[in-house]
Amino acid sequence: MPTLPASSDDIELAYLFDQPQAGRKPSFTSLTGIFRHPQLTTPAAFTALADSTLVRAHLLTERILRARESRTELFKVVKNLDRLSDLLCGVIDLTELVRNAHPDPTWIESANECYEKLCEFMNVLNTNVGLYEVLHAVLSDPEVVKSFSPEAHQTALIFWRDFKKSAIDLPPEQRERFVTLSSEILSVGRQFVNEASAPRPPTAIKPSELQGLKQNGMGTRLQLQARVTQRDLLVYPGSLQAHMIMRSAPAEEPRKKVYMASHSSTPEQIEYLERLLHARAELARLVGYDSYASMTLNDKMAKSPENINQFLDTLLDRTNSYARSALHALSLRKQAHINAPTLPIIQAWDRDYYCPPEPPAPPIALPPLTLGRVFMGLSRLFKHLYGVSLRPAEVLTGEVWHYNVHKLEVLDEDSGVIGWIYADLFARAGKSCGAAHYTVRCSRRTDDDDEAGDLMVEGAQDIVRSSQEFEEVKRQKVKGKDGVYQLPLVVLLCEFARPTISRGPTVLEWHDVLTLFHEMGHAMHSMIGRTEYHNVAGTRCATDFVELPSILMEHFLNSPMVLSLFDPDSSSATRQIGNLHEDPCRSIDTHSQILLSVLDQVYHSPTVLEPHFDSTAALANLHDMRGLIPHAPGTSFQTQFSHLFGYGATYYSYLFDRAIASHVWRKVFSDNPLNRETGEKYKREVLRFGGGKDPWMMLSALLGAPELEVGDAEAMREVGRWRIEDEVAIPGRH
């Protein structure tokens, strides 16, 4: 298929991101607030918005609680619960963005206060017995349930499950215990995460142990420092010196010392983790589950720990032979290096030395991949697949939180503007590290909100006016669709180097291009997931399904046809590089990720409540029974496994979605990744539903595989049999 010729929007898009201080369309309108909310011009206005939002939320809550007084109101309960959720999340999600991206401490302080205030009210709603009883009445009424669309029914079930997980139908004393445990989990979990990244004590490296270190900048400095001082060097885990030693020290002893120091824990750090795991297990028992994993997985694709084990066991079996073959290759390298008569054992501190890092590379030779060139390629790819493109948009004074933030319109060739992406892509002091996709606003139908029914308190109209103005900014008529919709708005945060006059455009490394494609996969899920309910819009879907669109986007970079879109006129020659060197450590790392997923399940199983549970012993036992590389006695890596908090019992999700994405790429896209018919099918069967349809049904329709519809243990085993392509990354992209 021929690529599209460069359009004026393509050229403007490339210019916007590649030229210093480029491309803001001039604004001739008056000052506005963040995201064009007229009142959000100061931190104080942010606080006022949160307060008026709480007033509206109270009014809407009271309306729902009275719903059984009117048959008409019963039919509106699910819609009103979704509105209530959107009302609160619309400000909470905004505060989350401001907390991580705004350069002004006063804005951040205001955002933190608003976040805590609104989350506290949200937690109260989750344990509101009256709301639960009203929803129970709705779901027990056959006539009301029959009136639901599939999306409405799914939304109702989401609320129902959330209530059930909040101990809503337990006696008051047990509900109080639930609240206490929930607070403990949050508090201890934060301590665990803080300690996971806390500096570890240094280890002493003798000057003689640095002999043979690579003669590059860092290696030379280390050796020179050792010779001059004639004293042991104190090397801190995580430092550049530590990384250099692990990658380049020929002697095994210094690598072992650094590894042991890097994977050490204090008794307090282990205690934080085990308190977190115990509190989670007790909370799950309190609400009727045998484990935290059982409680958490109940509404996921996996459904149960048993099904997860089917997936992980099958995947482990499939990976085992490749990983052991790779380990054998490392053993041969080590044998040759130390001149051993027999094959030596690969230890944990050998991995980095015998697997020197090789940066990933594209499959074809390309011109420098500037940030603007990559965005142009993304827009052209979306145009081929979905009839959707990106266009630079006017930014008003006060609309963004930093002058380097750019705004893009997402344009559908039939419907016009379907959402906005704010790109905050350049590194700066105080900005949250890493790459992330923030859903600041979800899609939702708004013309049937019936807001007049909320304002039952005299004088309420004056109290909530600012909150209603905040809502009005969101609403637009979508061409070709019935009704009025709240259009999605997302923010992409990255930390690329900013283009400068002296340095020129920002040129991305290949892993940066992968990251950008990943995050834009999330963004397009948010844009195309056009649902009537906030709670199932776009990326608001099952945890073990949400990474599929983003990981699939990375696979498009395997195609020379897609990479040709980075060329403005598609005329420059591209050269096929051929088969890339296969990194033998890739399958070893995949195996390690599977083991971590198994460990996550062990840590959230009923064994946590057994007397004398020992998280270190569980880790060591897993490595001894199923690992490739022996556990190093005296180490306790689990205290640095911070994903145990955020991903508790769902760490398998990234591997699971990577297996699905690899299979979808091979079966659906790889032959012709620019085919519009294929893109429309993916949009029609998967993206547009968000979380409003069972993911197994979506996957079954996309792949033409009816045997997957049930999503049972056999379906999980089937996914475990699928090959995972490309490198396996530790979950860190959002």
Residues identified as active-site: 519
Q: Which of 192, 255, 521, 205 is nearest to 385 (CA)?
A: 521
Residues 6+ away with beta carbon under 8 Å from 83:
60, 449, 534
How far, in Å, CA of 273 to CA of 279, rounded? 10
Residues 6+ away with beta carbon under 8 Å from 314:
716, 717, 720, 721
The phi, psi pair for 177, rounded to 5°, reads -65, -35
The phi, psi pair for 284, rounded to 5°, reads -65, -45
Q: How far is CA 517 from CA 428, 538, 562, 620, 665, in A?
A: 22, 17, 12, 37, 15
Question: What tokens were used for 110?
Answer: 């205001």
Q: How far is CA 137 from CA 148, 299, 699, in A?
A: 14, 22, 33
How far, in Å, CA of 42 to CA of 106, rounded? 9
Question: What tokens were used for 439?
Answer: 């859903």
Tell me which amino acid residue 274 is: E
Tell me which amino acid residue 322 is: Y
End-to-end CA distance of the chain: 32
Tokens 């027999």 correspond to 342
Tokens 């490392």 correspond to 330
Q: What is the 3-state secondary structure (H, E, C) of 246-306?
A: HHHCCCHHHHHHHHHHHCCCCHHHHHHHHHHHHHHHHHHHHCCCCCHHHHHHCCCCCCCHH
How far, in Å, CA of 563 to CA of 557, rounded? 6
